[in-house]
A and B are shown apart, each in its own frame.
Chain A
Amino acid sequence: MNQKARHYGKIAYDGLITNNATFKLVLGTCATLGMSTSAVNSFGMGLSVTVVLLLSNVLISLLRKIIPNTVRIPAFVVIIATMVTLLRMVLEKYIPSLYDSMGVFLPLIVVNCVILGRAEAFASKNPVLDSAIDGVATGLGLTCALTLIGIIREFFGSGSFFGIKVMDFSIGFFTNSAGAFFVYGICIALFVLITNQAEKASRAKRSRALRIPSHAEPLPAPDAAEEVK
């Protein structure tokens, strides 16, 4: 049981942090750049991708033994396209404001490399529950990253936070395309910096943990016979 929990935890941690689609793998960049003008938009986009990821991962995992290897890519694409079309219908019906602001980026979720990538690399080889967790974790990792970029661009671009005006200033640079590239680039750099530091710290800790007992218990004297050898 404990081992199982650790197994699922690892899948989730990989999807969220170690293989973060936006900052680490730099996939699905079009949607990240295009939809991050405001925090609400990027949050909506992130959730939409998460929903499609979850559904397509589950379906592909269920069908993984039925779909022949030769036609797997077209089959995956059809499944993803169906999920995106469904999402599009639901959004148009129930959240028209998000539907309008997503524009052409909504159908383009189909060609978001993250989704096909997870289908190919994970869902087509793993059981349903694992695939579902992977889908949600990857999606949430992407959502967090997108929302972060959205918050930064919205704050500097129009002085507001999730649509609420907090400061009376606006820097046009952040709302247009140049600002999108700039903020995204800086965010990746910071993510790399932080994860590298964290890794270094944990490595140092591990090696310290190995060294301490060696000080407490002096090493056994080398065997004379071995030395001769």
Chain B
Amino acid sequence: MAATILLIVISAVFSQNFILVKFLGICPFLGVSKKVNSAVSMGIAVTLVMVLATLVTWPLYFYIMVPLSIEYLEIIFFIFVIAALVQMLEKIIEKLSPALYRSMGIYLPLITTNCAILGVAELLLVNDLSGVVTGIEAGISMNLGFALLYALFAGIGFTLAMVLMGGVREKMEKLPVAKCMKGFPITMVAASFMAMAFYVFALL
């Protein structure tokens, strides 16, 4: 059990990192990683929505859609759930803590069209844990607990990549870079080096 949990954590955070290995959620990775602070806020917001979305979509799919055999409506349902969740979260945060809303709330509307959220909901639609977690033995059936754990650590892996990138970009701002490499190109090349480092985890 402990080994299973450890494998889920390692896989979700490092070897199958959503941004650097799976290429999910690249838009915020490029757009909101100019500063470490904003990267952290975005990461936390994404992690929160990822866990909440999984909490709703996973049972929705396996306990309602599969018995009714309406799996083909999965994309519509999921995107609706995510949009509704984001909207609700925005309102709740605005009411509860205006300060938090100012630092995090502005990223929430962006999250609806973040592939990492829909991606985690879609990826977790497997019956066997080995379908999402690498290096794990087959035969451990998926359940809501594992799904939530995976979503949580996928979000943490997302935040980690965001923060690392934020740090790199803060330093890079001051570097002299060829005109055509400014902006996206140099960020992509930096991401390439980070992806190389994360690739090592996939070899373990």
Residues of A within 8 A of B (CB): 26-27, 29-30, 33-34, 73-74, 77-78, 81-82, 84-85, 88-89, 104, 107-108, 110-113, 116, 173, 176-182, 184-186, 188-190, 192-193, 196
Contacts and interface: CB of A to CB of B under 8 A. Distances in A.
Interface in B93-136: 112-115, 117-119, 122-123
A104 B122 contact: yes
B180 A184 contact: no
B180 A110 contact: no
A111 B23 contact: no
B37 interface: no
B134 to A, nearest CB: 14
B79 interface: yes
A182 B185 CA distance: 8
Contact of B83 (A33, A74, A113, A184): A74
Contacts of B122: 104, 107-108
A89 B74 CA distance: 12
Contacts of A33: 23, 26
Given A33-B26, A177-B21, A110 B185 contact: no
B191 A30 contact: no
Contact of A178 (B24, B30, B115, B199): B199
Given A107-B118, A111-B118, A181 B76 contact: no
Residue in A77, A85, A190 whose Cβ sees the most chain B Cβ within 10 Å: A77
Interface residues of B, number: 44
Contacts of B118: 107-108, 110-111
B191 A181 contact: yes
Nearest to B77: A81
Kindly list the 8 A-B residue pairs having the minimum CB-CB distance in the complex, ordered from nearest. A185-B188, A181-B192, A189-B185, A182-B192, A178-B195, A29-B26, A34-B23, A33-B23
A186 B72 CA distance: 39
Contacts of B185: 185-186, 188-189, 192
Contact of B76 (A34, A81, A188): A81
Nearest to A182: B192
A107 to B, nearest CB: 5
B113 to A, nearest CB: 5
A62 B157 CA distance: 42
B180 A192 contact: yes
A106 to B, nearest CB: 9
A215 to B, nearest CB: 33
Contacts of B193: 178
B73 interface: yes
Contacts of A30: 23-27, 115, 119
Contacts of B80: 74, 77-78
Contact of B199 (A84, A110, A111, A176): A176
B113 A111 contact: yes
A71 to B, nearest CB: 11
Contacts, number: 121
A81 B196 contact: no
Interface of B: 20-27, 30, 72-76, 78-80, 83, 112-115, 117-119, 122-123, 178-181, 184-189, 191-193, 195-196, 198-199
B79 to A, nearest CB: 5
A120 B181 CA distance: 30
A196 B195 contact: no
A29 B116 CA distance: 12
Contacts of A110: 75, 79, 118
Nearest to B202: A176
Contact of A177 (B78, B189, B195): B195
A129 B134 CA distance: 48
Contacts of B26: 29-30, 33
A89 B72 CA distance: 8
Contacts of A180: 23, 192, 195
B199 A185 contact: no
A78 B83 CA distance: 11
9 contacts: A27-B27, A84-B75, A85-B76, A104-B123, A107-B122, A111-B79, A113-B27, A180-B23, A189-B178
